Amino acid sequence: MIHHIRIIIMNIKGMHVLFLSMGSFMGLSPGNNW
């Protein structure tokens, strides 16, 4: 159970980092039509 929760938290952190990097990428190059 705790292992499951840890995996879910790690996935949420990974998604958060992915969204942050995507946001910074879009901020650097606004020419993209995402």
Confidence of residue 19 (pLDDT cuts 50, 70, 90): confident
Average pLDDT, the chain: 78
How far, CA to CA in Å, does 11 sit from each of 3, 31, 34?
12, 29, 23
Measured between alpha carbons, how far is 26 from 8 in angstroms, rounded to an integer?
Answer: 27
Q: What pLDDT, on a 0 to 100 scale, did the predictor assign at position 29?
A: 62
pTM of the model: 0.44
Mean pLDDT across 15-33: 73
| Residue 26 near residue 34 (C-beta atoms within 8 A) | yes
Q: What pLDDT, on a 0 to 100 scale, did the predictor assign at position 3?
A: 82
Q: What letter would DSSP give residue 33? A: -
User: Which has more confidence, 1 or 21?
Assistant: 21
